[in-house]
Amino acid sequence: MIKGFIGIAIILFLTGLSAAAENACVGCHTSVGATYGIINDWKESKHALNNVTCDKCHGAVNGDKDAIGHNSFLITQTPSPSDCAKCHPGQVSQFTAGKHNLGWTKMIVAARYKAIPDDKMRASMCEGCHSIGKVYADGSVGKCDSCHTRHVFSKVEARQPEACETCHMGLDHEQIEYYKKSKHGMIQETNRTSARAPACITCHMDGGTHDVSQGITIGTVSQGAFLSDNSSQDNYVKDRNGIVMRAITQEKFDTNREKMLSICIRCHSRNFAKSTLENADDIKVQADKKVGEGITIIEGLYKDGLLDPMPENRPPNPVTGNNLTLTGQQTYSNTSGIEAEFFEMYKYALVHSWKGAYHMNPDYAHWYGWAQVNLDLNKIKSQNRTLRRIAELEKTKSPKAVPGFEAALVFGLIVSLILVQKRK
């Protein structure tokens, strides 16, 4: 009986502490500066409805690496996934297994990130999206409020396509544009409350999973993959076209594709879904071949010392140094004109061709993708011919020995090269 009273007393005492903390947070943040918005958002949340008060997420204990003293309370300013996992263990576990979890760690080793000259610039550009894979002081990874914006943390909001578009847009991965201008996007836009309105989560987060690794492409990874007899899930290598991609086995591909088809056939016939995805596979393979032609041309120029400037005569790539670097760790600064042309071909047009196709968007697959891949390859071939013609003239004639006509020809070729290298 006495133990029962003691237990009740402890519960009441702890409840009182929680209430005191919550009242202190609400009272202070309602009156201080503009932070009353935090309280208003929280009051609209499911957390508030279920009495999940501020201290449940922001409370800390001695020894926590991110603990700070705050108005007589020990708190963490930014709750980590470990904090979220106290109530949402399944969701955090799923997230940890997925691609978003790698967002930060992949960013910080990327040459393009390292080539940006200032930390503030990196924070305003790359880190805004890649922080979804933020690594916290306690070692946990992820930023739940990238999708469930604080302090409402709305599940309904996170399910909408607009929740994805801040990051999944732009020149090199216009997923939101592919989707919104497709039939799926049109149905969602005009029948938002209907069960037949597919959203991003329909295909990529089936059943509400927070592991977004499932997808519709070969390999289900951002730059695609190619089939290989000797591969592992983390094996990034060059395919036969010279493109750095993840290699997957036929068995793995079949498993991924069957999983995707199981989602598609809820709305489509199996034959329609299978042929649509296979058509997109073919666009992926054919577009990769075109990019492979560009790689072969540029590698030939590099071997013959004809890139202008050569890698050894320009600032080094932050990851690969003074070596020719195409695809994966290629940068868009401190490069030659023909490599810059290739960058746009590989990073933009190639991706539009096959991702547009997988999202059932014909215009992106063709005009923004396949057509531009071919136009870019034509420019690369033209620049290759010009560079080689100039090299031949320089080999046979010294500048002093070139008489009027030949000098004019050389000058014309140089001007032509400069004009071709200008951006579209």
DSSP strand pairing (225-227 vs 244-248): parallel
Of 113 and 407, more confident:
113
Closest to 176 in 3D by CA, of 192, 161, 186, 193: 161
Residue 54, classed as helix, strand or coil, is: helix
Residues in the chain: 424
Angle among Cα 156, 160, 165 to the nearest 5 degrees reads 135
- Amino acid at residue number 256: N
Given a cut of 80, whether residue 323 has pLDDT beyond it is yes
100 secondary structure, DSSP code: G
Non-local (6+) Cβ contacts of 290 within 8 A are: 345, 350, 373, 374, 377
Strands (E) in 53-176, as ranges, are: 67-70, 73-76
Take residue 110 and report the two structure tokens written for it.
């990327």
Report CA dihedral (363, 380, 222, 247) to the nearest 10 degrees: 120
Output the pTM of the full model.
Answer: 0.84
Rounded distance between C-alpha atoms, residue 99 and residue 263, angstroms: 20
Rounded distance between C-alpha atoms, residue 246 and residue 345, angstroms: 19
Q: Tally Cβ neighbours within 10 Å of residue 367.
A: 13
Take residue 122 and report the two structure tokens written for it.
């990196």
Q: What is the pLDDT of residues 34-49, one digit of tens each?
A: 688 888 999 999 999 9
361 secondary structure, DSSP code: -
Strands (E) in 134-216, as ranges, are: none
Comparing 12-26, 254-268, 315-329, which segment has the lowest mean pLDDT? 12-26
Beta bridge partners of 244: 238
Contact between 132 and 167 (Cβ < 8 Å): yes
Rounded distance between C-alpha atoms, residue 51 and residue 376, angstroms: 58
pLDDT grade for 406, boundaries at 50, 70 and 90: low
Q: What is the pLDDT of residues 132-173, one digit of tens each?
A: 999 999 999 999 999 999 999 999 999 999 999 999 998 988
Q: What pLDDT shows up at residue 6?
A: 42
Closest to 135 in 3D by CA, of 60, 66, 51: 66
Rounded distance between C-alpha atoms, residue 272 and residue 275, angstroms: 5
Q: What is the pLDDT of residues 332-383, one digit of tens each?
A: 999 999 999 999 999 999 999 999 999 999 999 999 999 999 999 999 999 9
- Amino acid at residue number 406: E
Q: Tally Cβ neighbours within 10 Å of residue 86.
A: 11
Residue-averaged pLDDT of the chain: 87
Q: What pLDDT shows up at residue 15?
A: 41
Q: What pLDDT shows up at residue 14?
A: 39
